[in-house]
């Protein structure tokens, strides 16, 4: 089957970034060897994000959107993108564009052999506090999941859609995507990608929800791992 890609972009109060999102993702789509489209998921924004999203989608047939009735959080936005995608591959990038859409090509080089390929942010351009809290959170998560990933929070990923659609829903899901693929006996890989400073808008996660959130979610993951159902059909008629 020929690969096609839906790029999921969660949006929560990112009005100042959305025109740049359109420009950079359009440039990627025009240069990519994989047939690609963009799914903007408006997670209950209270600024002008929804109006701008509708304008973008009305003028560009490669852009589509989902609009939540209220704010549900990043994990819900990603899961909704998985559920609504009709392509063989799903990608994910944040609307702050601290990672480059062009680096999707680095991940695509490996998606034939692997079921999830995630970026790992080299030379991160975040503050000391943000970098340190992420390092601690990643260490906590690795000790629970043993997924071997150095930067599971990197907002640049590509996943085979049949694996993505089998990921169950819970808050904090975005921190455990590689681990959830491993639960399906899938293969995962991390690839170094570029990282940039945020140039507009404000960060949605602070110190405490970078540290306490991952710790609490780890216990939810352990419960799910114990109860998780995974099967392969050998034959049917």
Give tens-digit pLDDT for 20-55. Answer: 999 999 999 999 989 999 999 999 999 999 999 999
Q: What is the pLDDT of residue 165?
A: 95
Q: What is the pLDDT of residue 49?
A: 97
Domain boundaries, the chain: 4-227
Average pLDDT over residues 1-16: 92
Residues of the chain above pLDDT 90, percent: 57
Range from 64-68, 99-103, 208-212 carrying the lowest mean pLDDT: 208-212
What is the chain's Cα-based Rg? 17
Report field, pTM of the whole predicted structure over 0.75: yes
Residues of the chain above pLDDT 70, percent: 81
Q: What is the pLDDT of residue 237?
A: 80
Average pLDDT over residues 206-224: 67
What fold, for 4-227? Spore Coat Polysaccharide Biosynthesis Protein SpsA; Chain A (3.90.550)
Instruction: Give how far the C-alpha of residue 20 lies from the chain's centroid of Cα atoms, to the nearest Å.
Output: 18
Q: What is the pLDDT of residue 139?
A: 63
Question: What are 149-203's pLDDT values in tens digits?
Answer: 767 778 899 999 999 999 887 787 778 899 889 989 999 999 999 887 767 756 6
Confidence of residue 134 (pLDDT cuts 50, 70, 90): low
Confidence of residue 131 (pLDDT cuts 50, 70, 90): low
Three-state SS for 106-136 is HHHCCCCCCCEEEEEECCCCCCHHHHHHHHH
pLDDT at 102 over 80: yes
Measured distance CA(84)–CA(202) in Å, rounded: 27
Measured distance CA(35)–CA(68) in Å, rounded: 26
Q: Of residues 50 and 204, which shows the higher confidence score?
A: 50
What is the CB neighbour count within 10 angstroms for residue 42?
24
Contacts 24+ apart (CB under 8 A), 223-230: 224/168, 224/170, 224/183, 225/183, 228/168, 228/183, 230/183, 230/184, 230/185
Q: Which two tokens stand for residue 220?
A: 């939810």
pLDDT at 1 over 80: no
Q: What is the pLDDT of residue 205?
A: 54
Q: What is the pLDDT of residue 61?
A: 97
Range from 23-32, 56-65, 137-146 carrying the lowest mean pLDDT: 137-146
pLDDT at 208 over 90: no
Range from 120-124, 200-204, 222-226 carrying the lowest mean pLDDT: 200-204
């Amino acid at each position: 089957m020929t690969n096609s890609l839906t790029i999921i972009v969660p949006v929560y109060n990112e009005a100042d970034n959305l025109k740049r999102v359109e420009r950079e993702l359009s440039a990627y789509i025009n240069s990519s060897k994989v047939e690609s489209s963009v799914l903007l998921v408006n997670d209950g924004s209270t600024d002008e994000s929804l109006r701008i999203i509708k304008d973008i989608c009305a003028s560009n047939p490669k852009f589509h959107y989902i609009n939540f009735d209220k704010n549900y959080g990043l994990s819900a936005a990603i899961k909704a993108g998985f559920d609504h995608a009709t392509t063989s591959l799903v990608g994910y990038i944040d609307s702050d564009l601290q990672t480059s859409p062009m680096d999707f090509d680095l991940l695509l080089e490996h998606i034939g052999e692997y079921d999830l390929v995630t970026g790992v942010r080299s030379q991160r351009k975040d503050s000391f506090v943000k970098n340190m809290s992420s390092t601690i959170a990643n260490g906590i998560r690795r000790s629970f999941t043993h997924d071997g990933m150095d930067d599971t929070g990197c907002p640049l990923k590509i996943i085979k859609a049949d694996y993505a659609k089998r990921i169950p829903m819970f808050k904090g899901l975005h921190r455990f995507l590689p681990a959830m693929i491993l639960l399906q006996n899938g293969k995962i890989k991390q690839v170094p990608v570029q990282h940039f400073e945020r140039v507009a808008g404000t960060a949605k996660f602070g110190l405490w929800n970078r540290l306490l959130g991952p710790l609490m979610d780890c216990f939810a993951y352990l419960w799910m791992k114990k109860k998780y159902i995974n099967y392969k059909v050998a034959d049917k008629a």
